[in-house]
Structure 1
């Protein structure tokens, strides 16, 4: 069955309004300071019902509140809410502001079911942006790297560029060994690799890339910081598969 989706279209509404859509409910709220709506499994008690037949979804799983010109989503349920870019919002954490436009929220229920709650914050024109068929395509935002940073990150992230399933960064020690073979006159060590990568993470974090500092990923950190960094570099096309040619010493 083909269900309505806010990703395809959204009804016109006043700027700043929010439209919330689940499989069984739809709600439009105009921006009003302090206005709060609830979503969850208990249809009689919430404003938007989601996961009605799934006991893993809390009866009231979260809230939407308009405050300071933004709509904020808060989790008060037992399970985390997954936001875009794999961000997880846990119970009683600080609420997260929703950006203008489309945002899907997911609640994982029983037997790996994913319950979708679509959000759309209406922009200044009161609806969907106009189609721009003939407009020039905007290039991705590529990040500036020095030659050493670029080479080190290609080495560290080679599994991502090789399209391996569930790739992970190679170890700093292994990366240092590969770099030393590629640049025998340079002084590469695991410590230097660590410093180079940490500098890039700090620079991108300062420019708004999420998930590159410990406070944003939680414990245990493991490879999460470098994994997030490499995914950002690949998705932005800062690193591309043809960069693997740098690993050929010939």
Structure 2
């Protein structure tokens, strides 16, 4: 990562590749600290560091690599800088960047980042690429420069087996991509995704549906709305929608899980 380093590096820290999703919370940090994370790690930057974070496809020329194997992503697709009282995202590439809620930042445009967790997606013609961004919340009044635990405790996630997680990420991929009015994908698509990722196994729509049904039954002892008798007809996608919603609000599934659909590596 060599792109345009500037400012006191003591206020800029690397996030290693094995850093957990920013959706799961943050360590103690100064209010206004920026965290940016891609598939191979990222950075945290204090608001007074005078440091501009550059992201894009060219791993050796940016601070945070995203879309490394997709030529549609620009080599330097965007930058994030502290301007005025907050952080601002500038889209330097041709592909749009989607915020949560389907807001688009087009090439050549900019947008202020909220003091929150923001999964951003660079929208390619065949794939979307996740860039996780989170700005640490303001702290209560106290001594200047005091570090504090800026986030409230995260909800307790549900335990999922690796196979359950893979099936559910496929089923919930529209939700994880922050698409408007998302619905679960079809069982046929889930089976196709799993067959591509695990070609040595026999994946069918029926097998995928059975795994999700068993997960729903297991969680139903603690979560309402996961059993047929609890939902008035017509059922439609209500049961799976309720399951996905529970997994999202407990951060059991997070946008970075979409990387599982890309396979190993």
Please give the TM-score of this superposition, normalised by the length of structure 1. Answer: 0.49
Q: Which has the larger radius of gyration?
A: 1
Please give the TM-score of this superposition, normalised by the length of structure 2. Answer: 0.46
